[in-house]
Every structure is written in C-alpha cells, then in structure tokens.
Structure 1
Amino acid sequence: MGDTPSQSPEPVVLTVCTTCRPEGADPEAIRPGRILADRLAGAPLPEGVTVRGVECLSACSRSCTLHLSGGPERWSYIYGDLDPDTHLDDILAGAAAYAATDTGFVPWRERPVVFRKQSIARIPPVSMPGVELSPAAASNASSEGSDAPTEMPPAALAQD
C-alpha cells in the first residue's frame, strides 16, 4: 500500500480584542488591542498563522487579550494583560510553537513566559471526549449537603 499524504493542519488564528482598555485609560486613546492587532498584522507571521481583530472577547478586566486557536482538533487559549510594546515577539514565538503542533498543546516550559503567566483559559478541542458525569451522584451529594467534589479520573486532573 502506498503512503497516505499527510493532511495539513488547520490554520492558526490569533484573534485580538480591539476594544478593551485598561481601567483608567483615556477613552479617546487608541486601544492597546487595536495597536497589538495592527502590529501583528504587519509582522512576519509564522507559516499558517493569520491575525484578525474583533470588537470584544469579553475579557475586559484583563485588557489587551487574544485568543489562539487552530481548528477543532487543537486546544485553544485565551491570554490577557498583553502589552503591544513588549509582548509582540513572545506572541509570535508562541504562535509558531502552537502552529507546529497537531493538538495545540505546547509543553509548559517551552511556551514564552507571557503565555505561561498570562493565560486566562485553556479550551479543549471540540473533538475531545468529556469526563463521564453522573447526575445521580451530584443530586446525592447536594442532598447530603456535601460540597466535596466527586472523584475525578487522573487524566481530568492533568495540569496545564
């Protein structure tokens, strides 16, 4: 049998909020996210990476946010408290490392510091199976007045 050509991975998208601003910032000033989006759009992006600006990522308290995604088979990430003056190179390096994966998972120590320290959320791939839930166990726990979590499989407890 012949080799099957490998499928190219889904494109990676850096989605940047262009409307949020730090608390106390001049409401008439150009928003940091807009500056970041424009700088990313003008930068030499890693292969397969595109940039888009959106009006809101609903992470206003973590002003200057971006969402890193790459299709239904990859983890997605939301990062906040970004600075367009100091984080551009790290964002590009993080996007390149992410784009080089099939799963979107870059080992923690291999991520730029800004991606390690300023992560707001890690979102599982759509295709990832969920943890088995037991509604009966939840209703028993609530009727017993227990706030203790039910036991979870070790894989569900994996740290990012």
Structure 2
Amino acid sequence: MLTPVDDGPAIVACNTCRHSTTDREDDHGTRGGAQLVAALRDVRESDARYAGIAVQEMPCLFACADFCTVHLRAPGKVGYVLGRFAADREAATAILDYAVHYAGSDHGRVPFKQWPQGVKGHFITRTPPPGFVAE
C-alpha cells in the first residue's frame, strides 16, 4: 500500500531500523529508526533553514545491514540512500544540513567540500530520478 506525500525535497527515514547490527531496540523497546525520525523532526523544527525539507517515514527501506537508513529524494534529482547512523540529534543535524545543500543543487549532486562531516562514509547507493540516468 502506498500513502501519498508531498513530492518536494524529502528525507524518508526507515522507522523500523535497528540501532546497530547487534541491537534492534533500546532498553525502552524503541527502535533506532523511530528515534532517528524523532531526532530529524526535532532538529527540523528547531531551525528555519530546514523548512523546505520534509521528514517522512516508512517501515523498512530494506537496508537492514546498514541500520538507521534514510532516503534523500527530490523531483528531477539523483536520490541517495544513507545509513549506519546513530539515532541521535548529531546525525539528524548532519543529514538535514546535507539535505539543504541537496535541495539547492541543480541535479542532486553536492560538491564534496559542502558535505557535513557527519554524512561522510554513510552513503550506500544513489538512484537516478525516473526517466534519467546519471553521467
């Protein structure tokens, strides 16, 4: 089943992700993905720079080995799946900082010098937008 959402720049976070390869839930029974979604929403609401980036969630992005995964997407832009994040405010801030540069780019490519340190090493895959392939 699909649920319609705004098709603008968005971070789609897996809300069922594990905390790590060994831990599914924390001591309170909360999954890492749910905590990362909460952190993303909290950080987004705390800073007007992030107003143009939607935070959306869905169960399982099928990247379980890479836990705490997000899919960054926008119309006409290359999309990215990133993972292996801690489910915390620091990771959420890095993801949103990158998303701002991504949303402002022409085709979804952000120069490496603009990447926040917190996203380096977290890219899993990139996906072309419908009707295109990347050069």
Cα deviation, 1:27-51, whole Å, max 9, x if unaligned, reads 5721111111012122236132111
1:58 has 2:56 as partner = no
Structure 1 counterpart of 2:79: 76
The structure with more radius of gyration: 1
Q: Quick one: which amino acid aligns to residue 21 of structure 2?
A: E
SS in structure 2 at match of 1:102: coil
Identity of aligned residues (%): 29
- Counterpart of 1:77 in structure 2: which amino acid? Y
Task: Report the Cα distance in structure 1 between the residues aligned to 2:113 and 2:72, rounded to whole angstroms.
Answer: 18
Structure number with higher relative contact order (C-alpha < 8 Å, ≥ 6 residues apart): 2
Q: Measured at CA, do residues 70 and 119 of structure 1 come closer, stay the same or move farther in structure 2, by a change above 3 Å?
A: same
Partners of 1:109 and 1:122 lie apart in 2 by: 18
Match of 2:97 in 1: 93
Find the partner of 1:23 among 21, 27, 34. 21
CA RMSD, 1 decimal:
2.0
TM-score under structure 1 normalisation?
Answer: 0.68
Segment of structure 1 superposing worse, 42-51 or 20-29 = 20-29
Q: SS of the counterpart of 1:67?
A: strand
Shift of 1:129: 4.6
Moved over 6 A (4+): none
How far did 1:26 drift? 5.1
Q: TM (normalized to structure 2)?
A: 0.79
Q: CA deviation at 1:87?
A: 1.1
Segments of structure 2 that go 5 or more residues without pairing to the other structure are 1-6
The equivalent of 1:34 in structure 2 is 34
**Counterpart Cα distance in 1 of 2:111 and 2:12:** 22
